[in-house]
């Protein structure tokens, strides 16, 4: 286990002084910072929220932060939305604690009590299910709640973090425009994908089709992954490899899985399987992403369990939807501030 690390005020200030401005951001930001960066837990939730979201959703996120509609996000606006994230997380934890207590009562005394009444009194049934939903639906909260009025109080009560300095400068006076915000979110997605890809490529330009299958299946509820891997080995006897561009394009597509599902339904594919050409066209129409023929063929060989060169909803979409929860499955916060390196490590490997 990794030991706790305490930072003195001087050490923290030195870390913040070395934080690059947002216009110098790149897809190596986290790796260049290594251990020299700190983020709050709510910022960690925000970063995880970004990882599986389509590029079209970046504008939604920016507009949610830009509560005064001036096409710029300042530090106070960012902190208000973070406070809403924090409040939602507290409600999630209370809900989890209540469910644990109910289960304990069932085990000890043999009766089950519903948590519905408790949750309803706290308005939990009105809380969006995911942090992304929170971001999308929180404009009115930010504009009309006491949080907006308490923005100065919230700002003064929190220590600066690497992310705040990166976005708003060392004095907190800079503002964030959409172009910089978009580039940051795109770079974050790319960086995490690069880390995953490089962990399998061993310095090569490609990863094997089998490694690609491992990456896809390890975030799902598939129990017998060996059968999928064996199926793929039989269907693709000669390894060609998956490039990073192919790898990245596929995960861009997965981030648009909901739109792809709608496209399939509109094409009347929902009740039957689809072939590779239909799959590739539906991906492009729904998401604008062009998948290479080799990548599509590899996906089919992984998930086409009955080997009819057709993919059904159950064979593909039902499994891939599991990945949408990758950032929030089974994670419990252990401290308020944590390093960038440990955040990335936890996201990639704590399954």
Domain ranges of the chain: 9-113+127-186, 204-325
- At residue 350, the pLDDT reads 42
In the prediction, which pLDDT does 335 show? 42
Question: For residue 118, what pLDDT is reported?
Answer: 40
Helix then strand count (H, E) for the chain reads: 20, 6
Q: What is the pLDDT of residue 29?
A: 93
User: Tens digit of pLDDT per residue, the chain (351 long)?
Assistant: 456 677 788 888 888 998 999 999 899 999 998 888 888 888 888 888 788 788 888 888 788 778 778 899 888 888 876 666 666 555 555 555 565 556 555 555 455 554 444 434 344 443 344 555 655 555 545 444 555 555 566 555 567 899 999 999 998 899 999 999 999 999 999 999 999 999 999 889 999 999 999 888 876 777 778 888 888 888 887 889 999 999 999 999 988 888 888 877 766 565 667 889 988 988 888 888 899 999 999 999 888 878 888 887 777 877 777 655 544 443 343 344 555 555 554 444 444
Q: What pLDDT score does 54 carry?
A: 84
d(CA 105, CA 109): 6
HSE-CB for 6 with a 13 A CA cutoff: 1
How high is the pLDDT of residue 67? 74
Entry pTM = 0.73
Distance CA 292, CA 340 (A): 33
Signed CA dihedral, 142, 145, 150, 154: sign only: negative
Task: Write down the residue that tokens 């001036």 correspond to.
Answer: 70
Residue 305 DSSP class = T
- Residue in the structure block whose two tokens are 């406070």: 83
Q: Supply the pLDDT for residue 291.
A: 94
């Amino acid at each position: 286990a990794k030991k706790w690390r305490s930072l003195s005020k001087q050490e923290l200030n030195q870390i913040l002084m070395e934080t690059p401005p947002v216009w110098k951001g790149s897809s190596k930001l986290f790796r260049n910072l290594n251990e020299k960066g700190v983020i709050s837990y709510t910022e960690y939730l925000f970063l995880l929220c970004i990882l599986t979201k389509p590029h079209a959703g970046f504008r939604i996120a920016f507009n949610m932060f830009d509560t005064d509609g001036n096409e710029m996000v300042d530090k106070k606006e960012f902190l208000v939305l973070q406070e809403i994230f924090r409040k939602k997380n507290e409600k999630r934890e209370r809900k989890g604690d209540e469910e644990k207590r109910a289960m304990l009562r069932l085990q000890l005394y043999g009766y089950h009590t519903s948590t519905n009444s408790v949750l309803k009194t706290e308005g939990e049934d009105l809380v969006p299910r995911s942090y992304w939903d929170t971001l999308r639906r929180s404009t009115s909260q930010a504009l009309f709640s006491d949080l907006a009025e308490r923005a100065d109080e919230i700002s003064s009560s929190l220590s600066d973090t690497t992310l705040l300095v990166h976005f708003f400068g060392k004095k907190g006076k800079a503002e964030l425009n959409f172009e910089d915000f978009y580039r940051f979110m795109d770079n974050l997605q790319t960086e995490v994908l690069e880390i995953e890809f490089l962990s399998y490529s061993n310095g090569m330009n490609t990863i094997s089709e089998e490694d690609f299958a491992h990456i896809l299946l390890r975030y799902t509820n598939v129990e017998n992954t060996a059968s999928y891997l064996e199926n793929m080995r039989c269907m693709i006897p000669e390894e060609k490899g998956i490039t990073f561009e192919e790898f990245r394009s596929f995960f861009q597509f997965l981030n648009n899985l909901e739109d792809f599902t709608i496209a399939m339904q509109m094409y009347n594919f929902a009740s039957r399987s689809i072939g590779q050409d239909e799959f590739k066209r539906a991906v492009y129409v729904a998401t604008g992403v062009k998948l290479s023929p080799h990548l599509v063929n590899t996906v089919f060989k992984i998930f086409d369990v009955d080997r009819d060169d057709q993919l059904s909803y159950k064979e593909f979409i039902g499994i891939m939807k599991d990945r949408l929860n990758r950032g929030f499955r089974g994670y419990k916060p252990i401290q308020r501030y944590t390093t960038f390196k440990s955040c990335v490590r936890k996201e990639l490997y704590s399954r």
